[in-house]
Amino acid sequence: MKTLIAAIAGPDLAAAPRADLLVFPGAEAASVRARDGAALLERAAATARRCNAYVVPGLYVKDGGLCLGLVAPDGTLVLEQRATHLNRAWAGDLRRADTIVLADTPFGRLALVPDVDVYKGEVLRIAALQGAEVAVCVQVLPPQDYSEAMVLAGAWQQAQQNCLYIVSVSDQHACLLGPCDTASDHSGFLTHPGDPLPQRAELSAEKRLAAYKTFPVFQSLNPRLYRNHLDELCG
């Protein structure tokens, strides 16, 4: 992994901060459903070329799936991930994917995590064990369901149990996360959910390595245990 600058844009995309990876702010479910996915990706491509950055423009529905896309600085769509888990907002008409794909970028291997996939340990573990170092999680989280606890129970704890940097965005919050010791206060919050947009932080490769040395989470994985309980893990 190489150090990168990640940012979450505010409502004014023209004023987006300089970054290697730029994520659009979140949107509510109705807006996501109403979106023209192709138009969204076109807007992302224009932003990517203008800002010379990788861009994740947010959730969209395409071909019966809830999707996130990654657009490269040249405007090409280099990664598209369909949600592998769905909640009631989507499950009635959309279908789950059964594949997790990663993108190799100049700063490292990146995973896209649509919506409630962020709450599934299986998803981020599969991504991490395939080499993911950075993840972008975009979800819909109605105000009555939002709390900081939902961020802790989702993107924050995934960053800890998989040693990942995570850009976490919803219609209620935005923050940049990493393993606890990548933050100066050991919280894992590089920016906080209450911080105004735009947000920007350095995702340091050296700090991630140092954090791993103090909390080498993959060293204690127990493949024999997991193989012995494959039925339980796959259920």
Partner 1 sequence: MLDSFLKFLARSLQRKAAPEKIRSYLQARGYPSLPGHVPSLPGHVRVAAVQEQLRVLKTWQAYVERMYAFTARAAGAGAQLVCFPEENGLLLLGQLPLVGPLLRLATRSMGNPPPPVPAEELEPVRLSSSAWDLPDGSLVARLLAPFSPFFQETFTTVFGELARGFGVTIMAGSCMQVADGKLVNRAYLFGPDGTLLGVQDKVHPVDMEMAMGMTPAERLQAVPTAVGRLGFPVCMDATYFETFKILRALGAQIVVIPIANLEPFQHYWALRGIWPRVQENGVYGIKSALVGRLGGLEFTGKAGVFAPLELTPDRSGVLAEAQTFDRDELVVADLDLDRLEAYRSDYFDDSNPALYRKYFPDIYR
In the complex, least distance from residue 227 CB atom to partner 1, rounded to whole angstroms: 6
Nearer to partner 1, 5 or 146 (CB): 146
Q: Which residue ranges make up the site for partner 1 (CB under 8 A)? A: 1, 84-89, 91, 96-100, 108-109, 116, 119-123, 125-126, 128-131, 133, 145, 147, 149-150, 152-154, 157, 160-161, 163, 180, 186-188, 208-209, 212-213, 215-235
Nearer to partner 1, 18 or 186 (CB): 186
What is d(CA 193, CA 185) in angstroms, rounded to the nearest whole number? 15
Nearer to partner 1, 9 or 164 (CB): 164
User: Is residue 19 a contact partner of residue 6, using CB atoms and an 8 Å limit?
Assistant: yes
Amino acid 136 reads V
Nearer to partner 1, 64 or 121 (CB): 121
In the complex, least distance from residue 72 CB atom to partner 1, rounded to whole angstroms: 20
Question: Any residues with CB less than 8 A from the CB of 81 and at least 6 apart, and which?
Answer: 67, 68, 69, 97, 100, 101, 111, 112, 113, 114
Of 59, 54, 46, 60, the C-alpha closest to 13 is 46
In the complex, least distance from residue 233 CB atom to partner 1, rounded to whole angstroms: 6
In the complex, least distance from residue 91 CB atom to partner 1, rounded to whole angstroms: 7
Helices marked H in 166-229 = 205-214, 223-228
